[in-house]
Structure 1
Amino acid sequence: MNEIRNFIEDITLISDSDWQFFSSKLQEVKFKKNTPLLKIGEIEKHLSFITKGIIRLYIPKDEFDLTFGFVFNNAFITAYDSLLTQSPSEYQIETLTETILWRISNKDLQEVYEKTNSGNIIGRKMAENMFLIKSKRELSLLSQTAEERYLDLFSNRPELLQQIPLKYIASYIGITPQALSRIRKRIT
């Protein structure tokens, strides 16, 4: 649980009393590899922090899934749009490896926002960070070629290429596995 406090304190200082209140609401949950955390049509009920594992966000399709995000250790994960609106999710979230999460329910999260001094600051800064990640991804899809996206991914997130099946990476950069294979051959 120290990872969570360290992560939060990189954003803003949190008093011991605020931390005690927040951490008392957290529940540790362990998942096996390839376990769905949220399916299409379900409403997100938690904000989770990954202390171990890799999680994928995707839209399932008949031919191949449309992967649009990966989240790793020491980061928060949620279907944020579903959590905010309490409406059914339009995508799925699943573990790609054995995963350990610390979860807080949406109800408890709202209580943390209401009763702590640092809760709203942390929530705002996390929302801003999620927006920047999403914006960067959208811009890369609009302004870069598939090869440029792959090279960018390779240089910025090499752990993706070592731990995630190539079919998911291909989907993430917006191409077929065959097209990714051709790009990889051309590069090497």
Structure 2
Amino acid sequence: MTLTEIIHRIHPMPPEAVEKLLAIAEVVSLPKYHLLFRADKIDHNLYFIKKGIVRAFTEKEDTSITFFFGMEGDPVLSMKSYVSKEKSYEDIELLEDSELYHFDGALLETLYLQDIHIANWGRKLAEIELARTEVRLIARQFRTAAERYADLMQDTPELLRRVSLGHIASYLGITQVSLSRIRTKQ
């Protein structure tokens, strides 16, 4: 997926505004297991995945708890750092060798102030990410692990082929043994 396609998928903009965004974007290649964001750090950068998969997680009592996966075309950011400029609570790790479109947060912030189309695009990006977070939260609270696994199979079957079962189990909030039972029944 091209960066222009990603931009328009979030919110259509005039060509001049798109060109301004493209002018500050750079493609970066990073290895598997690279930590793109670190907990307890402020990082105002924004990425979109050109190629690869990421996971957002936090550590608790010597356990890694995964709560987000991102794939090609998805934005990657620490929302707390990006919006509030406060220390993040999550680590975001690359699960594959990856290529990402990178936006420096300060340059992006300048464009938000200069161009209403880009400011609206940024607002729409934040709204979309808030809605996605709400869906994940509600699913975690009101759907069983088996239902959430079925959703993953339906919505992102490629994710299940590319991510370890340990990360999938963590995302579902269950053990790998429980995940194996669910997979056997599916």
Q: Into which bin does the TM-score normalised by the smaller protein fall?
A: over 0.9
Structure-1 separation of matches of 2:176 and 2:28: 33
Secondary structure of the 1:60 match is: strand
Match of 1:85 in 2: 84
CA shift for structure 1 position 60: 2.1
Which moves more between the two structures, 15-24 or 40-49? 15-24
Alignment of 1:20-59 (within 5 A): 20-59=19-58
Alignment of 1:60-75 (within 5 A): 60-75=59-74
Residues 50 and 101 of structure 1 are in contact (CA less than 8 Å); yes or no, is this contact kept in structure 2?
A: yes
Paired letter, 1:108: L
Q: Deviation string for 1:148-174 (max 9, x for gaps)?
A: 111111111111110000000001011
Q: Deviation string for 1:116-169 (max 9, x for gaps)?
A: 231121111111111111111111111111111111111111111100000000
Paired letter, 2:159: L
Give the TM-score taking structure 1 as reference length: 0.92
Structure-2 separation of matches of 1:12 and 1:152: 26
Residue-pair matches, total:
186
Give the fraction of aligned pairs with identical amino acids, expressed as a percent.
Answer: 30
Alignment of 1:153-172 (within 5 A): 153-172=152-171
Structure-1 separation of matches of 2:151 and 2:80: 27
Give the TM-score taking structure 2 as reference length: 0.93
Gaps of 5+ in 2: none
Secondary structure of the 1:169 match is: helix
CA shift for structure 1 position 62: 4.7
Residues 12 and 118 of structure 1 are in contact (CA less than 8 Å); yes or no, is this contact kept in structure 2?
A: no
Secondary structure of the 1:65 match is: strand
Match of 2:144 in 1: 145
Secondary structure of the 1:118 match is: helix
CA shift for structure 1 position 63: 4.3
Match of 2:12 in 1: 13
Secondary structure of the 1:74 match is: coil
Structure-2 separation of matches of 1:58 and 1:119: 30
Secondary structure of the 2:72 match is: coil
Structure-2 separation of matches of 1:122 and 1:108: 15
Q: Deviation string for 1:4-28 (max 9, x for gaps)?
A: 2112223433223222222121122
Paired letter, 1:67: T
Paired letter, 1:5: T
Q: Deviation string for 1:83-139 (max 9, x for gaps)?
A: 111111111001000111111111111111111231121111111111111111111
Structure-1 separation of matches of 2:62 and 2:182: 21
